[in-house]
Structure 1
Amino acid sequence: MTDTLSTQFQAALTRCGIDLQALQGTDITVRSPIDGSQLAQLAALPAAQMPELMERATQAFKQWRLVPAPLRGELVRLWGEELRRTKADIGHIVSCEVGKIVQEGLGEVQEAVDICEFALGLSRQLYGKTMVSERPGHRIMEQYHPLGLVAVITAFNFPSAVFAWNAAIALVCGNPVIFKPSEKAPLSGLATFKALERAIARFTAQLGKQAPAGLAQIVLGRSDVAEALVDSPQIALVSATGSSRMGRTVGPKVAARFGKRILELGGNNAMVVTPAADLDMAVRAIVFSAVGTAGQRCTTLRRLIVHREVKQALLDKLLPTYRSLPIGNPLQSGTLVGPLIDKASFDAMQNSLAQALQDGGQLLTGGQRQLQQEFPKGFYVTPAIVDMPAQTAIVRHETFAPLLYMLTYEELEQAIALNNDVPQGLSSCIFSNDLREVEAFLGAAGSDCGMANVNIGPSGAEIGGAFGGEKETGGDRESGSDAWKQYMRRTTNTINFSRELPLAQGIQFG
């Protein structure tokens, strides 16, 4: 980074309460994908210290679970205030550390603010049910109680929002939180966590000793630290975001000890464009969904399934737009496509491109490295579109880069089959103004993804809806709707207020 940008970055860290001197070590080297420059060298927490950290959280749980939920909501409200106050700084850190353009960095922090507002309202709506009993003088009800320790393990691409999605809900549900950010983006996670620490300090000052020590903790480290959280029977719920490969390791380990998990894994998201689509709207959605965050979202558009009748008309609009996309430093105004996170991501994209062409694909645009002279250690690339003759193995594989495969269909049933014929099942969408096509796509025989949209792209989910997908995406949900139930334990209570003891199912005993 230039001296000016480095000064701005350091100032943002300071305003967020991050002291790099206190965190200094040799275990984790943090680099900016903008130019490959070193942002920090951090010490990792030794895995041997994890039991002590988890014991602090266990003691905190004993106190926090007894705090009334609306008071727990007040803590999250204060966290939202702190996030608002430092939104610009956290967004700047995200842009420097992850490579997101400024608008996307700010948008991610806004997601964290939004989930705090959602969780505040939720703190007064942790509802159970009352059911009719078959026995006279009896009542059945369900209650939700705090679950226990929640571990949140995040990926590099959403280092602020995903932690907040989980932590805000976990806290109002009465659970302590242990946060392990990606070693590729620990500073963004730290900035978000520091806002929570300030909120806890304000909460304690206002209400006394309601917020126990160990309620929220952050651990910097690599896979050994994550494994300690995954393996520990003290951790009631592991929320882990990453690749399907990672999920295949985490899921069975948590299941083996009968723990709960929320897995947010791979996505291979498709858009179906029908003859009844508004093509101008579709182009705008394609561009944002396929190239935003340089294609490094789990909800990135990766497959474009277009009816043969409108394929050329769509390409006539889409290709000029793609070829005019401003690629460059994400901190500069006007940039729409920033860098890939590192060389490994660039190499993965190139390998996928080569395989797609070998499978008979035609490169329509993009795929070349850019700005190599200006940023020799930054990996910028022109977003690529490949016209594929069929949905080959490489198309069914998630490549975390701005690589869009185009497929052609004749009948809607064929398009839906293509949409579903991948291992992942996160997000999907259809562009059509035909009600019958829309309902078919959304129905039981339609998209098999956890999210199915109409006339918007597959990315840009709001926090009010449950977020997650099926198949290799993990099958779990976080953020809005009733995802809060995963952070609680449910009890069914049968209450006999009569003077008799009738048995269920009419059983006579003795």
Structure 2
Amino acid sequence: MSDLNILSEQTVDMPDAPYQARHFIDGEFAQSADGQKSDRVSPSHGVVVSQAALGSNIETEAAIRSARAAFDDGRWSRLPAKDRAAILNRIADLIEANVERLAVIETLESGKPISQARGECGGAADLWRYAASLARTVHGDSHNALGDDMMGVVLKEPIGVVSIITPWNFPFWILSQKLPFALAAGCTCVVKPSEVTPSTTAMLGEFLQEAGLPAGVCNIVLGYGNPVGSLMTTHEDVDMVTFTGSTAVGKLITKSAGETLKKVALELGGKNPQVIFPDADLEQAADAVTFGIYFNVGQCCNSSSRVIVHEDVADAFVARVVALSRKVVFGNPMNSDTQVGAIVTTDHQAKIDGYVRQAVAAGAEVCLGGHIMSVPGLGTQFYEPTVVRGVTPDMVIAREEVFGPVLTVLTFKTLDEAIALANDSTYGLSAGVWSENIHTCLEFCRRVQAGTVWTNTWMDGFPELTFGGMKQSGQGREIGKYGFEEFLEVKSLVMRIGRKRAPWVRTA
């Protein structure tokens, strides 16, 4: 551990007091009826950084009731799209004006570096602006070749009340992949952030209020999955559930929502391969792999946790990644130079360590790291940058989502073998290919089972390009035109525009 680049100094001031996160229901902020709150202790600094109201069935019922009324009376769903877009753009302006405030609390609650929190929160404004632009593009089809007395019109209408349940790893970004698109479509919403990182979502309530979003259109309920999330996925007044989180919880939501046949959109886990061919630019590939495994401390569904490298260049490539990993700045997330921060909870840290221990027992080799680490003055809720090679496809570490700064390395000989290894997973979220041969890249892209495929890059994203997975990485899509259309229903209108030429029932 002595040769790692560890940074303990702090360049960003701590808040004077814990942030007080409250529910936002029917346009008003409120504590829980029973007064219950939860404390969030920062994984990096070990102090209470926020206190959040803990919701119950009372708050959840009120939020759903408010969203239902707001949708049914048309205060938002029947508002002209240009007016909805104007409010969404005002919210984007308020997000940009409060980036530092959002980033500080997100860093302290999650443990991610503040530079990444700034990028996440500031970049989310672009998602709101893009969603605002889509609000004015809703259109259907007309069919005028059905006969000279018939016309068909296909409309797209908002689906209704949407429950939005978000995770702890990118609380503001993932919320912004869902909420503005639902609002742009004319839906009303009930939002539940993770109880681990509730504060940036609670802060958003302030921006919604200031921007003039009508009361009840978006309601925020803080608390645990049970009872808040459970009621949000089963209540008969909810028309759709969109969830980001683990595959196991996604399956439970699908079952519970099925009782009322709600639409369900899920963005779940990933075990994302990057395939490195021998003609690849190894320096660029190694840099991208290093970024992909340590970004957000590896606690990312798009983490490049599974590298599949050609055996002819495997040694050279692993050596590059190990050398770069030693240069990555680990440490105090409240320092603007830090690139990798703390693990979100001690339980999750133990789970990460367990995967590494299990891999070693199965015969894998740890080339770097593999231990819980400490940062001077901040404690031990960190994990060393870890590279594990000699991994075989049957090992647990090659098949399950570690969700930490742990890279597994497998090798291949042929293109067919590389594609088979890439597809040998229950997940299908994203994949990457590195080669200077366009034919190799295109064949890999066509054959790999993943919702997003990057070629000679990793994790570049744009609001215009939709996101989502195949297989057990989820169903439905987010952002882009396709993500917007997830929140729309299709309705066919069949209209007779002239008198019926002959009656069906003859009276004479």
TM over 0.5: yes
Give the aligned partner of residue 15 of structure 2.
9
- Any idea what the Cα deviations from partners look like across 1:185-218, whole Å, max 9, x if unmatched? 0112212332222212xxxxxxxxxx53211111
The Cα shift of 1:64 comes to: 1.5
1:483 matched to 2:495: no
Give a deviation string over 1:424-476, Cα, whole Å, max 9, x none.
Answer: 11111101110111111111xx111111110111x343222111101111122
1:492 alignment counterpart: 492
Output aligned runs, 1:11-26, within 5 Å: 26=36
Q: Name the counterpart of 1:468.
A: 468
| Alpha-carbon contact 1:151-1:239 (below 8 Å) kept | yes
Equivalent position to 2:347, from 344, 347, 350: 344
Match of residue 273 from structure 1: 276
Letter in 1 for 2:70: A
Amino acid at match of 1:233: E
Inter-CA distance 25–104: structure 2 relative to 1 (3 Å threshold): farther
Alignment size in residue pairs: 490
Q: Do 1:16 and 1:89's aligned partners in 2 also have CA atoms closer than 8 Å? A: no
Distance 1:243 1:227 in 2: 15
| Deviation of 1:7 (Å) | 6.2
Judge conservation of contact 2:155–2:491 (CA < 8 Å) in 1: yes
Structure 1 residues 220-269: Cα deviation after superposition (integer angstroms, max 9, x where no partner): 11121110101101111111111001011001111221101111111111
74, 85, 103: which one aligns with 2:86: 74
**Separation in 2 of the partners of 1:257 and 1:119?**
28
- Cα pair 2:42 2:110 within 8 Å, conserved: yes
1:333 is aligned to 336
Q: What displacement does 1:14 show?
A: 8.9
Q: What is the rounded CA distance, in whole Å, between the counterparts of 1:324 and 1:492 in structure 2? A: 59
- 1:301 equivalent to 2:304? Answer yes
Quick check: 1:292–1:337 contact (8 Å CA) kept in 2?
A: yes
Moved more, 20-29 or 492-501: 20-29
- CA shift, 1:27, in A, is 3.8
1:39 and 2:63 aligned:
no
In structure 2, C-alpha distance between the alignment counterparts of 1:502 and 1:169, rounded to whole Å: 47
Relative distance call for 1:414 and 1:21 in structure 2 (3 A) is: same
Aligned to 2:66: 56
Q: Deviations over 1:347-389 (max 9, x none)?
A: 011110111112221111112222255323x411111111134
- 1:79-478, aligned counterparts within 5 Å? 79-131=91-143, 133-200=145-212, 211-223=213-225, 224-371=227-374, 374-376=377-379, 378-394=380-396, 395-443=398-446, 446-457=447-458, 459-478=459-478
CA displacement, residues 71-129 of structure 1 (integer Å, 9 cap, x when unaligned): 11111011001001101211121111111112210111123201111012111101212
Counterpart AA for 1:319? V
- Residue 498 of structure 1, CA deviation: 3.8
CA RMSD of aligned residues (A): 2.7
- Counterpart of 1:179 in structure 2: which amino acid? V
Residue in structure 1 matched with residue 5 of structure 2 by the alignment: none
Q: Distance in 1 between matches of 2:475 and 2:505?
A: 43
Q: 1:6 to 1:106 in 2, by over 3 A?
A: closer
Mapped to 1, the partners of 2:267 and 2:502 lie a distance apart of 46
Is the CA contact 2:367–2:386 (under 8 Å) kept in the aligned structure 1?
yes
Q: In the alignment, residue 368 of structure 1 is paired with which amino acid?
A: H
The one-letter code matched in structure 2 to 1:35 is: H
Q: 1:404-431: CA deviations, max 9, x gaps?
A: 1100000011111111111111111101
Larger helix percent: 1
Taking the aligned partners of 1:291 and 1:400, their CA distance within structure 2 comes to 10
Q: Which residue identity lines up with residue 9 of structure 1 in the other structure? A: P
User: Unpaired segments of 5 or more residues in structure 1?
Assistant: 201-210
Change (3 A) 1:407 1:491: same
How big is the shift at 1:396? 0.7
Secondary structure of 1:9's match?
coil
Cα 1:29/1:460, change in 2 over 3 Å: farther
SS at match of 1:143: strand
Give the 3 Å change call, closer, same or farther, for CA 388–316 of structure 1 in structure 2: closer
Q: Return the alpha-carbon distance in structure 2 between the equivalents of residues 460 and 268 of structure 1.
A: 17
Rate the CA distance shift 1:85–1:238 in 2: closer, same or farther, 3 A. same
For 2:483 and 2:339, locate their aligned partners in 1 and report how far apart those are by CA, in whole Å: 33
Q: Which residue of 1 aligns with 2:4?
A: none
Q: Name the stretch that deviates more: 173-182 or 363-372.
A: 363-372
Partner Cα distance (1:238, 1:186) in 2:
19
Question: CA separation in 2, counterparts of 1:20 and 1:358?
Answer: 52
